[in-house]
Structure 1
Amino acid sequence: MSPELPRTVKAVDTAQLLELDAEAEECGLNRRHGVAWLSEYADRTAIHYLWPALVHRLEHRPEYSPHWRCMLLLTVRDGQQVFSLLDVLPASFDQLPETLDAASGTEIAHKLMHGRLPTQAEWAERNGA
C-alpha cells in the first residue's frame, strides 16, 4: 500500500529549498536543480512553494520509494516566478511546517496548475543560466 499524497502547499525559504535539493541529489532522485544552480539563481530572500503532484517510485532505489514529485513555484533572482519540479522524500515534506492558510494554498496551487508560468528551463535558457 502506498502512502497518501498530501494535498497541501508548503512554503520554504531558499535555505530549506537548498537542503531539499541536496537531499534529492544525494538520494539519486530525478527531479532536482543542483545546489550550485539554486545558490546562484534562486532569489535568496524569496519564499518558494511546494505542492505534491504525484507519487513517484524508483524500482532500482526502493529505499527512496515512494517519494513525492512536487510542483515547485520558484522565485528566481530577477523576481520572476517560474514552474519547476522537485522530488521530495515524504518524511522531509512532512517535517516542513504548515504556514499557509487554506485560501493562500489554494491560490498557489491554482497558479501552479493554471498560471501559465515559464518553466525553470525556459527561464534558464533566456537568461543564460
Structure 2
Amino acid sequence: MSSGVPRTVKAVDTPELIRLDAEAIECRLNRHHGAGWLAAFADPAAVHYLRPVLVHRAPHRPEVSPHWRCMLLLTLHDGQQVFSLLDVLPASFEDLPETLDAATKTEVAHRLEHGGLLTQAQWASANP
C-alpha cells in the first residue's frame, strides 16, 4: 500500500456510493462507473466497502490532486460481489464514518486482495 493513504476500510451504503461516484465523474477522475451505472446495477440495500490503496497525483489538475484510488467491494443487484476501483477525494473519504471493527476490516481487505472476485468489467460484459 502506498504511504499517504489511510490504512482502513470504510463501509458505504448505495446512496453514498452513488454520490462518491458522481463526485468522481464531476471532478473528471479516472476511476468511476459512469453516470447511472451504480444506480442501475448496485444492490440498493447493500453495504459496500472502500479501501484506499494509492495516492493518485495529477499535477496538471491541482484542484483534485492528490486523490485516493480505492479498491471497492461492490455488491450488485443479483447478490454477486465484485471488485472495482473508485477514485475518491481525501476529504470525502475522511467524512465517511468509521463503523467497522478490526476483524471486519481485515476480512474485507483479504477478500479484495485474495478473494478471486470478478471485476466489475467482467461482470458487466457477462450481464449486458
> Quick one: percent identity of the two aligned structures?
70
1:67-104 superposed Cα distances (whole Å, 9 cap, x missing partner): 00000000011000000000000000000000000010
Cα shift readout 1:28-76 (whole Å, capped 9, x = no counterpart): 1000002401100000010000000100011221110100000000001
Aligned to 1:9: 9
* SS at 1:86 equivalent: strand
Partner of 2:73: 73
The aligned residue for residue 87 of structure 2 is: 87
Counterpart residue identity of residue 81, structure 2: Q
Find out whether 1:62 has 2:62 as its counterpart. yes
Provide the TM-score with structure 1 as the length reference.
0.95
Identify the range of structure 1 (54-63 vs 73-82) with the bigger mean alpha-carbon deviation. 54-63
Find the residue that maps to 1:116 and give its secondary structure: coil
Q: Distance in 2 between matches of 1:101 and 1:40?
A: 30
SS of 2:36 mapped into structure 1: helix
* Unaligned 5+ runs, structure 1: none
Task: Report if the CA contact (8 A) 1:72-1:86 is conserved.
Answer: yes
Q: CA RMSD in A?
A: 0.9
Moved over 3 A (4+): none
Aligned length: 126
